[in-house]
């Protein structure tokens, strides 16, 4: 039976990162997977997380099972972080949340709930979107349509096309939106555009499903959640998948959260019960360590301030790198790369062909995804000139 299964190709993101690790060229540049890297090319542990971990390790007395809902203080902390201290939806008690194994687990729990509510429902995803969205949500049986989003000519959002396509989204449909720092293109909706999507959701009855994995790495924690918060205040129903991978550096600890915004508390409680049963049937309960650290940071004013300051520094560094990259690339190539400055978060599409990307990999040990998506945080003072020169050569 098992011998009928064929060898599959490596994952286009994680497989490429693994390939880059095996490259012994000292000049290699790793712009593959979306992890924050500092000036030394290291993905750091936040100081506040390290402090929380020291305390946790000293005091932890048990590794007994968690509930399927996860660590007690984690869900309320995440709700405030994402929806804001003054959220009316939170004050009305119409939000419930379940801890999930990372942003992926959070998306999967959201998909399980949608499938339970409306089997085979259609999810509208942006073109392009994170390549894992479709297999992750589709594996429960959901169907897909795409809406036009990124315009490779203008290097920005083609909002007219997005609106035109979403006019076909009906009351039983779900529209998957990137809360901020669009992965893979870095082009985000303006607040006015979020408001128009809110008008359409109200008029047409579709439900937004928001994937927010990069809060705090675009413009700031509140700024990056502003679009999502607009929708939360006016729409009766919405699902949010949040991740602590990037903004708390908890990548391998698989720490995320699914939030259900419902018409009332009774329905929010019902959805939490459904989500717990979904968790039980898929993985029983999420891992504890990351959520214990995140909740300790979110519950302590000093640790929160420390974490936010470090996150602010990362956000500022990424935005500084965007400006540096624009200048270096324009000088090296004589072409216009101004669009990189306007984008948000870790990613940018450089607009290179598949062949150019392959040559960069083979001849220069510069690794980016086949779509020419780069992780801006992989750029640093030591590799930026080499990167710009290599790109100039393939252009």
Which residues contribute to the site for ligand LMR (CB under 6 A)? 13, 33-34, 130, 132, 183
Residue with nearest beta carbon to ligand LMR: 34
Question: From the CB of 191, what's the least distance to ligand LMR, in Å?
Answer: 25
Identity of the residue, 130 or 159, whose beta carbon is nearer to ligand LMR in the bound complex: 130
Question: From the CB of 213, what's the least distance to ligand LMR, in Å?
Answer: 6
Identity of the residue, 82 or 213, whose beta carbon is nearer to ligand LMR in the bound complex: 213
Give dist(CA 271, CA 282) in Å, integer: 16
Give dist(CA 332, CA 145) in Å, integer: 40
User: Per the omega criterion (within 30 degrees of 0), is the bond before 128 cis?
Assistant: yes
> One of 30, 211, 224, 324 is an active-site residue; which one?
211
Question: From the CB of 252, what's the least distance to ligand LMR, in Å?
Answer: 11
> One of 124, 130, 194, 307 is an active-site residue; which one?
130
Does residue 124 carry a catalytic annotation?
A: no
User: Per the omega criterion (within 30 degrees of 0), is the bond before 184 cis?
Assistant: yes
Identity of the residue, 97 or 129, whose beta carbon is nearer to ligand LMR in the bound complex: 129
Whether 29 and 378 have beta carbons less than 8 Å apart is answered as yes
Lookup result for tokens 């690794």: 367
> One of 30, 173, 224, 246 is an active-site residue; which one?
246
Does residue 151 carry a catalytic annotation?
A: no
**DSSP run (H or E) holding 144:** strand 143-148
Question: From the CB of 188, what's the least distance to ligand LMR, in Å?
Answer: 16
Give dist(CA 348, CA 328) in Å, integer: 15
Question: From the CB of 13, what's the least distance to ligand LMR, in Å?
Answer: 4
Identity of the residue, 129 or 319, whose beta carbon is nearer to ligand LMR in the bound complex: 129
Give the long-range contacts of residues 329-335, CB within 8 A, separation 24 or more. Answer: 329/388, 329/391, 329/392, 331/388, 332/388, 332/389, 332/391, 332/392, 333/388, 333/391, 333/392, 333/395, 335/395
**DSSP run (H or E) holding 192:** helix 191-204
Identity of the residue, 35 or 392, whose beta carbon is nearer to ligand LMR in the bound complex: 35
Catalytic residues: 130, 211, 246
């Amino acid at each position: 039976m098992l011998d009928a299964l064929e060898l599959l190709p490596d994952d286009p993101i994680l497989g490429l990162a693994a390939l880059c690790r095996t490259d012994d060229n000292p000049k290699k540049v790793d712009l593959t997977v979306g992890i924050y890297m500092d000036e030394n090319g290291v993905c750091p542990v936040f100081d506040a997380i390290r402090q929380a971990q020291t305390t946790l390790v000293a005091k932890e007395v048990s590794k007994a099972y968690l509930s399927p809902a996860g660590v007690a203080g984690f869900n309320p902390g995440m709700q405030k972080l994402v929806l804001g201290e003054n959220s009316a939806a939170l004050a009305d008690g119409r939000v419930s949340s379940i801890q999930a194994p990372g942003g992926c687990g959070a998306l999967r729990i959201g998909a399980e709930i949608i499938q339970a509510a409306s089997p085979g429902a259609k999810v509208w995803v942006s073109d392009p979107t994170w390549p894992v969205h479709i297999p992750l949500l589709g594996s429960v049986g959901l169907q897909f349509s795409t809406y036009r989003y990124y315009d490779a000519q203008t290097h920005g959002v083609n909002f007219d096309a997005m609106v035109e396509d979403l006019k076909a989204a009906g009351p039983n449909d779900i529209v998957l939106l990137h809360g901020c720092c669009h992965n893979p293109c870095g082009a985000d909706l303006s607040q006015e555009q979020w408001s128009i999507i809110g008008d359409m959701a109200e008029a047409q009855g579709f439900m937004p499903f928001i994937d927010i994995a990069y809060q705090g790495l675009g413009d700031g924690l509140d700024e990056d959640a502003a679009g999502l918060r607009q929708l939360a205040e006016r729409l009766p129903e919405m699902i949010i998948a949040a991740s602590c991978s990037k903004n708390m550096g908890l990548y391998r600890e698989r720490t995320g959260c699914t939030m259900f915004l419902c018409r009332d508390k009774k329905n929010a409680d019902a959805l939490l019960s459904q989500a717990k049963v979904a968790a039980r049937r898929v993985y029983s309960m999420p891992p504890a360590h990351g959520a214990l650290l995140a909740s300790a940071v979110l519950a302590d004013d000093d640790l929160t301030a420390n974490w936010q300051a470090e996150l602010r520094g990362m956000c500022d560094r990424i935005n500084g790198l965007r400006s540096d990259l624009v200048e270096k690339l324009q000088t090296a190539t004589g072409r216009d790369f101004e669009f990189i400055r306007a984008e948000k978060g870790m990613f940018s599409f450089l607009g290179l062909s598949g062949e150019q990307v392959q040559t960069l990999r083979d001849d220069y040990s510069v690794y980016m995804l086949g779509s020419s998506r780069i992780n801006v945080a992989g750029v640093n003072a030591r590799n930026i000139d080499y990167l710009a020169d290599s790109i100039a050569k393939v252009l």
